[in-house]
Amino acid sequence: MDIAVIGTGYVGLVTGAVFAELGNHVICVDKMPERIEMLMGLKMPFFEPGLREMVERNMEDGRLQFSTDTGHAVKSSEIIFIAVGTPPKETGETDLSQVESAAAEIGKNYNDYKIIVNKSTVPVGTGDLVREIIQQHKPPELDIHVVSNPEFLSEGSAVADALNPDRIVIGAPNQQVAMKLIELYSILEKPMIITSVRSAEMIKYASNAFLATKVSFINSVANLCETVGADVDEVRRGMGLDERIGPKFLRAGVGYGGSCFPKDTESLLNVSRSYGAGMQILEGTIAVNKMQPVLFVNKLESVFGSLDGKLIGVLGLSFKPNTDDIREASALYIIDLLHKRGARVQVYDPMAMDNVRRSGVNVTFCEDEYDAAAGTDAVLVLTEWNRFRQLNFSRLKRVMAGAHLFDGRNIYDPAVVRRYGLSYHGVGRQSVLLENS
């Protein structure tokens, strides 16, 4: 099939590359010339395992193109995916200006019957808005149908997720339109669910909000575990073996971040309020997540009495491993709190250092994890990169000035850390201290 993807951000680029990999001819368009020039030079705008290789392969085979010419892409395609950014406004409402702009461009270049697919994460009712905007610009004699086809990609495994999805949701106005999308996805041989457009839009938000709620729930349990002397890791294992609950998204830590959970929970809450159907459970989810970095820094301060003048090493800046994405990353909130309490901070992350540099955060950037630990009073592990899971604790202890390891993702065995001469502090677990510590 001939496909256009409007937007070369995270969702758009992965979507375009994967559809090309499946044998379609794809044009990815973006209004930013520098982004297109970068992609044509095989420079990826973000880190995602396997993506560059897929883009290069399909460009060489002639199935994947990049362009700033939206008009040409629209006119030459039968299915057009809108995959532009939908950032939050200060109120929590979703900013749909990029979606509206894409819809207007589609309408102005609408030369034949096409299926328009919303791939961006958008509030309920956006499909109607897109159709109305296109209607205003397109020739009146041509029909139009708008479909909602939400993505369920996890950063760090997006390419694999797109090729091997749990399910494919197609929100279509009628069966005939749905069949075109079924044909497109049939090669994957994965479960497909056909719904109304509004139900598909809601499925995306409800899914992310539920997962965010699981994270905040286990973090609330973790905070109680610390008070009553229980271990949240033992609790989550006992909970996760219940098939009704499952083990995923039940790891306690310093909170969720990234481009989806914070934005989508706020947006769904905003939509629920606008319809007079408030979701108090989401209010609690968001409140707990905002408190996790504060509680973690409070724990650090309780150990030292004051953080003024302390040198803290931070390992991990991205919101999760295998990505360079620092959007809403808990590490950045924690660093900001450390600064406000008088601490100095030096950091290391395998992939996210350049993004943090560009953000203007006032930290010392280090060559590796041991360089970041050198001379520090405490080391904080805030992203569970595999290389951090295999820390050499003897070397870590040797280069540190102090002897406190704060495990913000509960990836270490407290007793093992203690054996190497370091006090251990996790989330929802009892601290294991050195004598006289």
Determine whether 260 is an active site residue: yes
Burial code (b: 16+ CB inside 10 Å, e: under 16) for 370-406 equals bbbbbebbbbbbbbbbeebeebebeebbebbebbbbb
Distance from C-alpha of 80 to C-alpha of 112, rounded to nearest angstrom: 12
Strand order in the sheet with 344-348: 364-365, 344-348, 311-315, 378-381, 404-407, 423-425
Distance CA 365, CA 353 (A): 7
Helices 197-228 and 261-274: crossing angle, nearest 10°?
A: 110
Residues 391/367, Cβ–Cβ less than 8 Å: no
Beta bridge partners of 380: 314, 406
CA proximity to 143, closest of 101, 119, 179, 110: 110
Contact 286, 266 (CB under 8 A): yes
**Which residue do the tokens 């006289």 mark?**
436
Active-site residue, selected from the candidate residues 28, 225, 260, 366:
260
Residue with tokens 């956006």: 126
Q: How far apart are CA 334 and CA 379, in angstroms?
A: 13
Q: Which pair of structure tokens corresponds to residue 418?
A: 């203690």
CB atoms under 10 Å from CB of 295, counted, come to: 17
Distance CA 276, CA 272 (A): 6
Torsion of the alpha carbons at 247, 252, 258 and 261, rounded to the nearest 10? 60
CB half-sphere exposure, 324, CA atoms < 13 A: 17
Give which of 224, 302, 335, 208 is closest to 262, Cα–Cα. Answer: 208
Positions annotated as catalytic residues are 260
